[in-house]
Structure 1
């Protein structure tokens, strides 16, 4: 049984005072489709740990996928889904900057490299 995990990390710096609104939109609008693409939300972390009214918060969402196969399946489904691009376009008014990265536990790298 292959129990490797791939992590997808969305890091979003919100526009000042918009973090709570972004998190609500992300959970209500983005997360359901992500779950359909095989992603499991591990956590959302807000930094600093207070809703800022006049400054930006950084929101970090960590998703988990089942190994390389799960990552590829999610990637291809997301790339061909115009709803994903539309959601991010609609959310742009809440976002100052965003990035996405992927990673894995160091002990899983050898197994993940054999796809």
Structure 2
């Protein structure tokens, strides 16, 4: 089965990357795991904890296929804690986006659901 990747890309405010990553791992990640997401990695760019500049934090989650992605979505949308959690870390973030992707070799198969 083709894996589906969920990618959170967050541009932090200057000096906030480490605080954001710590909170993301401690507070967001446990709920994501219960929604079936498996954390592949968290990347920090550039690879230094800046105090006076923003960083880009990229968290990549893996799901076992399109059904797992739908299940994660169905569990997450009605979750009343997600919006408030993102609001609670808003002071650390200047911009964020989420994308969903798959390896190019698997896209045809994923379209045939």
Q: Check whether TM > 0.5.
A: yes
Please state which band the TM-score falls in when normalised by the shorter chain.
Answer: over 0.9
Hey, what does 2:64 align to over in structure 1? 66
Hey, what does 1:32 align to over in structure 2? 30
Question: Can you list the C-alpha shifts for 1:31-52, whole angstroms capped at 9, x where unaligned?
Answer: 0000000000000000000000
Residue of structure 1 aligned with 2:47, choices 42, 45, 49: 49
Task: List runs of 5+ in structure 2 lacking aligned partners.
Answer: none
**TM-score relative to the length of structure 2:** 0.98
Secondary structure at the counterpart of residue 25 of structure 1:
helix
Query: What count of residue pairs does the alignment treat as equivalent?
Result: 113
Secondary structure at the counterpart of residue 62 of structure 1:
strand
What RMSD in Å do the two structures reach over aligned CA positions? 0.6
CA distance in 1, matches of 2:94, 2:38: 25
Secondary structure at the counterpart of residue 81 of structure 2:
helix
Task: List runs of 5+ in structure 1 lacking aligned partners.
Answer: none
Hey, what does 2:107 align to over in structure 1? 109
**TM-score relative to the length of structure 1:** 0.96
